[in-house]
């Protein structure tokens, strides 16, 4: 067991994402992860340093610290805690200052703040769009959509739409393919006028059965026969209508979204 701290003056999302990307390369080690977010006062920084010291003593080896702490003062407290610090902010900011020949602001919270009201409002609008156009609740807004994801139930449409909205400001709608849609290889009427916006999600039938079984155990909806039939017919529809699609079985929502953006050549709005 080795304790790992993710420390930031704001949410800690960046430190956690970057740190976890590195930790995944060491699957043989058991890491205890601790997220210390909003370390934005001297008192909080001192408390964090004490926690790191105690964890290092308990483990019998120095704790690892992944930090995006902006304040030099608070960063020095962490450096003297007895842990080993990987400072993402300092690693890159000094090099950028040299290249750009100017000093950085060293201001906290800029990456997750709401300083640019247009950008922040745009992200909120895209999230609302995804929620309002989820699972075919309405098709009247498809003209406004940047992309429309389609696939069988539980293939990953909703979380992918929300991720595209939150991370990239993409107006993403989704349409579920139900039995009536899958009786033919033709596109459902609601989608026919938007072929250039469509992107299909497919999934391994066994994986789909496992997901559905959690939702509705021992039902026809979750049977392997039903899953195989729906996936086969959905893929036939995609192929017959030249709709690009991706297998979501063993890749993360982040990767699904990234691949869709790359293949569809969509650009982030914000």
Domain boundary among 44, 67, 100: 100
Q: Any known ligand binding at 264?
A: no
Q: Is residue 191, in this structure, part of any structural domain at all?
A: yes
136 and 241 part of one domain = yes
Q: Any known ligand binding at 104?
A: no
Q: Any known ligand binding at 156?
A: yes
Q: Any known ligand binding at 232?
A: no
Q: Any known ligand binding at 155?
A: yes
Strand order in the sheet with 2-7: 31-36, 2-7, 64-67, 84-87
Q: How many CA atoms lie within 13 A of 99 on its CB side?
A: 5
108 has a pLDDT exceeding 80 = no
Q: Any known ligand binding at 153?
A: yes
pLDDT at 112: 52
pLDDT in tens, 222-236: 999 999 999 999 999
Q: Which domain holds residue 147?
A: 117-264
Q: Any known ligand binding at 157?
A: yes
58 and 136 part of one domain = no
**CA–CA gap between residue 77 and residue 248 (Å, rounded):** 44
Q: Any known ligand binding at 82?
A: no
SS3 for 193? helix
pLDDT band for 208, please (50, 70, 90 cuts).
Answer: very high
User: For residue 152, what is the domain's CATH number?
Assistant: 3.40.50.300
pLDDT at 13: 84
pLDDT band for 110, please (50, 70, 90 cuts).
Answer: low
**Taking CA 203 as the corner, what is the angle to CA 198 and CA 208, rounded to the nearest 5 degrees?**
130
pLDDT at 105: 64
pLDDT in tens, 128-182: 999 999 998 889 899 999 999 999 999 999 999 999 999 899 999 999 999 999 9
pLDDT in tens, 131-144: 999 998 889 899 99
pLDDT band for 117, please (50, 70, 90 cuts).
Answer: low
Domain boundary among 66, 100, 134: 100
pLDDT at 184: 95
88 and 219 part of one domain = no
pLDDT at 133: 95
pLDDT at 104: 76
94 and 121 part of one domain = no
- Dihedral of alpha carbons 125, 127, 133, 139, sign: positive
pLDDT in tens, 175-207: 999 999 999 999 999 999 999 999 999 999 999
Tell me what percent of the residues of the chain surpass a pLDDT of 90.
74
């Amino acid at each position: 067991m080795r304790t790992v701290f993710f420390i930031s003056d704001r949410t800690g999302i960046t430190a956690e994402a970057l740190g976890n990307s590195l930790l995944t390369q060491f699957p043989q080690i058991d890491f205890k992860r601790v997220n210390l977010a909003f370390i934005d006062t001297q008192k909080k920084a001192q408390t964090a340093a004490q926690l790191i010291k105690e964890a290092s003593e308990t483990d019998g080896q120095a704790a690892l610290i992944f930090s995006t702490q902006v304040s030099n003062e608070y960063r020095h407290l962490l450096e003297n805690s007895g842990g080993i610090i990987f400072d993402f902010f300092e690693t890159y900011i000094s090099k950028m200052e040299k290249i750009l020949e100017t000093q950085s602001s060293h201001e906290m919270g800029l990456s997750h703040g709401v300083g640019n009201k247009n950008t922040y409002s745009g992200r909120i609008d895209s999230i609302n769009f995804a929620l309002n156009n989820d699972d075919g609740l309405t098709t009247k807004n498809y003209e406004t959509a940047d992309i429309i994801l389609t696939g069988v139930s539980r293939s990953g449409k909703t979380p992918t739409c929300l991720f595209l909205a939150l991370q990239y400001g993409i107006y993403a709608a989704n349409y579920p393919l139900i039995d009536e849609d899958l009786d033919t290889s033709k596109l459902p009427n609601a989608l026919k006028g938007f072929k250039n916006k469509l992107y299909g999600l497919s999934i391994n039938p066994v994986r789909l059965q496992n997901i559905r079984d959690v939702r509705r155990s021992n039902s026809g909806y979750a049977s392997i026969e039903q899953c195989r039939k729906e996936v086969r017919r959905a893929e036939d529809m995609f192929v017959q209508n030249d709709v690009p699609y991706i297998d979501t079985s063993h890749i993360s929502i982040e990767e699904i979204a990234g691949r869709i953006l790359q293949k569809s050549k969509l650009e982030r709005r914000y």
